[in-house]
Amino acid sequence: MDTMNLQNLGWDPWFAQQAALEQGPAVPARVTAVHKEIWLLKTEDQEFLGEASGRFLFNALSALDMPAVGDWVLARVSGPDSPALIEKVLARKSLLTRRTSGKKRDFQLIAANVDTAFIIQSLDGNFNLRRLERYLVMAAEAKIRPVALFSKCDLMPEAERLEKLAQAAALVPGLSAACFSNHTGEGLPAVREFLAPAQTYCLLGSSGVGKSSLLNSLAQEDMQKTLPVREADSKGRHVTTARELFVLPGGALMIDTPGMRELGNMGWDDGVAGVFSDIETLAARCRYADCSHTAEEGCAVLAAVAADGIPAGRYENYMKMRREFSYQDMTLYEKRVKDKKFGKMVKEVMKVKKGR
């Protein structure tokens, strides 16, 4: 298997070791786009379509097992007119997911094998530290280096920009953050500094913040379509509808994604613990081990909020994510019971009221 030329696409010993254990004619390729049940695959010198082999589908247990943008797969290429058959997804170095809010405890795949996430907010009304925290949690959970980028700095006076940048950088010690403008080009050299050849980057953020515009700026050509935001509320129009991987002129690999409508349904674990390490550290000092940090005596978290050691907004966001998480993590059965109990309670309260 000649894989020398795959290194420009991010191939490295991690994947090579796995591929070496496989026998047969399947070749490694990187997934650059997903369209329902068809995957666009890339090797150094060609692009081709792939579909999942029957055996692959049979063995796939959940959405997590399907190929995502950025994945390395082994595919059997047959002829020029028929799609290649994807036989295996190589173990990922990282995986960006979000939990879907449906009934099933399911995940939506965002991108695989991403090294760095560019978390983008625009300075024209999209700037929000609580939202940034959520994205930071998402990146931490996936074990991906986050970089906070603030777009449209042409719309904001310098003093205000610096103030916002400082607020963002203060969220997590050592967080890289920068402002830029796709329109004036200001700050773009600083963004380029984060890029390295054969490393994989993912653009994350609300619709309309300028993710595709940044891709185009960095590529110095229009790779992706962009559209103006709605004037009334500066909300984006969800122009980008699919995730796709592009090779930038300098050799960096960039995944553009559709703006996310909301970012609920987070996991707890490493993600939240990392981003809210200040609160988690305090929580260990609460008098009661099962302290809910809402009303208890001797709650170190509440004490810190009262003493302005922790901003109230940060505390509220922490508590909100905690609630979401504990609900998300219940089994479907537990949820039903809880919902039923709640329904019953509502009924009883109504009865009491009527009976009065």
Ligand X SMILES: Nc1nc2c(ncn2[C@@H]2O[C@H](COP(=O)(O)OP(=O)(O)OP(=O)(O)O)[C@@H](O)[C@H]2O)c(=O)[nH]1
> Which stretches of the chain bind ligand X, using CB under 6 A?
151-152, 154-155, 181-183, 207-213, 226-229, 236-240, 258-259
Instruction: Name the nearest CA neighbour of 229 among 213, 216, 241, 247.
Output: 213
Choosing among Mg ion, ligand X, Zn ion, none, which partner's interface includes residue 236 (Cβ < 5 to 8 Å by kind)?
A: ligand X
Distance, CA of 49 to CA of 38 (rounded, Å): 7
Cβ distance to Zn ion smaller for residue 101 or 292: 292
Which entry of ligand X, Zn ion, Mg ion, none binds 213, CB below 5 to 8 A by partner kind? ligand X
260 binds, among Zn ion, Mg ion, ligand X, none (CB under 5 to 8 A by kind): none
Comparison of 245 and 299: residue with beta carbon closer to Zn ion: 299
Q: Which of 145, 99, 146, 123 is nearest to 260 (CA)?
A: 99
- For residue 237, the one-letter residue type is R
The Cα–Cα gap between 286 and 268 comes to 19
Nearer to Mg ion among residue 28 and residue 210 (C-beta): 210
Residues 278-317 that bind Zn ion (CB under 5 A): 286, 291, 293, 299, 301
Select from Mg ion, ligand X, Zn ion, none the partner in contact with residue 227, using the beta carbon and a kind-dependent cut-off of 5 to 8 Å: ligand X
Residue-by-residue DSSP string for 241-297: -S-EEEE-TTS-EEEE-PPPS-------HHHHHHHTHHHHHHHTTSSSTT--SSS-T
Q: How far is the CB of 282 from Zn ion (least distance, A)?
A: 8
Question: Cβ neighbours of residue 179 under 8 Å, at least 6 residues apart?
Answer: 123, 149, 150, 151, 153, 161, 164, 165, 186, 187
Nearest approach, Cβ of residue 140 and ligand X (Å): 22
Minimum distance between the CB of residue 16 and Mg ion, rounded to whole angstroms? 33
User: Partners of 49 in the beta sheet?
Assistant: 40
Candidates 99-107, 120-128, 210-218, 333-341; binding stretch for Mg ion (CB under 5 A)? 210-218
Terminal CA-to-CA distance of the chain, rounded, Å? 81
Q: Does 240 bind Mg ion (CB under 5 A)?
A: yes
Q: Residue 291 binds which one of Mg ion, Zn ion, ligand X, none, with CB within 5 to 8 A depending on kind?
A: Zn ion
Angle between helices 129-141 and 158-169 (to 10 degrees): 40
Stretch that binds Mg ion, among 32-40, 114-122, 209-217, 260-268 (CB under 5 A): 209-217
Q: Could you list the residues that contact Mg ion (CB under 5 A)?
A: 211-212, 239-240
